[in-house]
Amino acid sequence: MSQKKKILRILEEHGLITTKMVTENGLSRRILSQLEDQKLISRIERGIYAMNSECVDRYFLLQYRFPQGVFSHETALHLLDHLDQEPQQLHMTFPVGFNSLRAKNAEIQPIISKDVTVGIRPVSRSGGTSIHVYEIERTLLDLLKPKYTADKEQFFAALKHYLCSDQKDIPKLLNYARLFNLESKIQPYLEVLL
């Protein structure tokens, strides 16, 4: 099978292809330029190509552009199916020292944290891709942090949805509350809802 056919097969399977995927499969990156010149694929942005640019997942694109970021807050609630509508503002959490201007230019509300790696889980997206999102327990507690102003109705609805779900893990929620020193903030909500 030719390299062009291999690249097109990967594109059919995943909906997009990155230069990293091409390299990992032992293929030449020049083939991407040739396919683009033949109008068989489109360059979405640097290093990302697709057959149909309208079907590209914007969350995956943002994760690709900002690999050190984790979808958080209301964005995580939405991605974890604890918030019905897509949030008006996308949130990602980044490590201390990250240049937040780049994220703001990409219309992301950056949150800077020293505890970026705590509570990350992959979420599968269309085309076999995945993105980094905080677990629901971490997300609920992030919404209670004093530096962040969350919509209390959305928080309460998400917490209620979480507590009614089969996947709830109260010990994990309380462990995160201890870790982030938010036990006194979450306890009143738990007393009302449990």
Domain extent, residue 50, equals: 3-55
Taking residue 94's Cβ as centre, other Cβ atoms within 10 Å add up to: 21
Domain co-membership, 102 together with 171 = yes
**Cα–chain-centroid distance for residue 49?**
20
Instruction: Round to whole Å and give the CA distance between 83 and 153.
Output: 11
**42-45 β-sheet, strand order:** 16-18, 48-50, 42-45
Domain co-membership, 50 together with 78 = no
The predicted structure's pLDDT at residue 169: 95
Domain co-membership, 133 together with 183 = yes
pLDDT tens for the chain, 194 residues long, are 899 999 988 888 777 888 988 999 999 999 999 999 998 898 888 888 888 666 678 898 899 899 999 999 999 999 999 988 888 899 999 999 999 999 999 999 999 999 999 999 999 987 677 899 999 999 999 999 988 888 888 898 999 999 999 999 999 999 999 999 999 999 998 888 87
Burial (CB < 10 A; 0-12, 13-18, 19+), residue 71, is: buried
Domain co-membership, 148 together with 160 = yes
pTM for the model: 0.85
List, in sequence order, every residue forming a beta bridge with 91; answer none if it has no partner. 109
Radius of gyration from C-alpha coordinates of the chain: 20
The predicted structure's pLDDT at residue 27: 93
- What is the count of structural domains for the chain? 2
The predicted structure's pLDDT at residue 152: 86
